[in-house]
């Protein structure tokens, strides 16, 4: 609600000394078209919330989305692009990642050790994306929200690395495959 937003902003302002935080946010939608997320990132509400949090730079990888976020608030630099050959650098450089609920993007963010906000697209039909997002949130790896609650989530999120996500461990699967094909150890 609006009152909660105003309260959270006030708390942020008092907690932060001027110039204390110089945060970078990286937002990614992978290969999807996620206009409601790009639209909310392009809004003064969310950008002001980011600024109050101490964010100075927002980079948006917008994929196939039509909306191109630009800076709506002074003091917050906003850069948007469609795709890049590798997003690794962008993840590593960010203090907070805002990601669509695609398993690939979320995993990349977690493996880069970034606090991750997963934004679920409530306009998608048959939304099985929510399953992964909820499961990861339940295990404490990410924080989920919807596009219209992004501002509040940005203000609330803690800038601490999430728990380490299990690495790819193909050993078990390889053993099962060997056994199936008759290669017993």
Partner 1 sequence: IMPLLEKCGNTGSRTPQTIVIPRAREVGQSYATSVWTTLVALAHSAYVVLMFSPEVILCNGPGTCIPICFWALMARWLGIRNTKIVFVESFARVSSLSLSGILLYPFADLFAVQWKPLTKRYKRAVFGGVLS
- Residues found near partner 1 in the complex (CB under 8 A): 102-104, 107, 128-129, 131-132, 134-135, 166-173, 176-177, 180-181
**Least distance from C-beta 166 to partner 1, angstroms?**
5
Residue among 23 and 107 whose Cβ is closer to partner 1: 107
SS3 149: helix
What is the closest distance, in whole angstroms, from the C-beta atom of residue 132 to partner 1 in the complex? 5
For partner 1, the closer of residues 83 and 173 by Cβ is 173
Whether 147 contacts 119, CB under 8 Å: yes
Cβ 28 to partner 1 shortest distance, Å:
16
Strands 55-61 and 77-81: parallel
Structure tokens at 51: 């600024």
**Alpha helix segments (H runs only) across 23-117:** 35-41, 44-53, 88-93, 103-111
Q: Which is nearer to partner 1, 68 or 127 (CB)?
A: 127
Which residue, chain included where needed, has tokens 């219209």?
148
User: Minimal distance in Å, beta carbon 170 to partner 1?
Assistant: 6
Instruction: Give the residue ranges of DSSP H helices in the chain.
Output: 2-15, 35-41, 44-53, 88-93, 103-111, 129-138, 150-156, 171-180
Of the pair 77, 139, the CB lying nearest partner 1 is at: 139
Report in angstroms how near the CB of residue 180 gets to partner 1 at its nearest.
5
- Which lies closer to partner 1 via its Cβ, residue 44 or residue 131? 131
Encoded tokens for 14: 């008092």
């Amino acid at each position: 609600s609006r009152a909660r937003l105003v309260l959270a902003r006030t708390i942020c302002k008092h907690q932060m000394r001027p110039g204390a935080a110089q945060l970078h946010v990286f937002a990614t939608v992978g290969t999807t078209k996620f206009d409601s997320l790009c639209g909310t990132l392009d809004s003064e509400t969310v950008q002001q919330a980011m600024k109050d949090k101490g964010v100075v730079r927002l980079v948006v990888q917008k994929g196939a989305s039509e909306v191109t976020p630009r800076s709506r608030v002074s003091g917050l630099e906003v850069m948007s692009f469609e795709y890049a050959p590798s997003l690794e650098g962008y993840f590593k450089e960010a203090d907070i990642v805002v990601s669509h609920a695609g398993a690939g993007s979320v995993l990349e963010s977690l493996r880069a050790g970034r606090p991750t906000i997963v934004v679920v697209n409530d306009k998608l039909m048959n939304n099985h994306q929510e399953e992964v997002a909820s499961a990861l949130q339940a295990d404490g790896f990410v924080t989920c929200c919807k596009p219209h609650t992004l501002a509040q989530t940005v203000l609330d999120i803690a800038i601490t690395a999430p728990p380490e996500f299990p690495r790819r461990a193909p050993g078990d699967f390889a053993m099962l495959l060997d056994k199936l094909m008759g290669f017993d150890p």
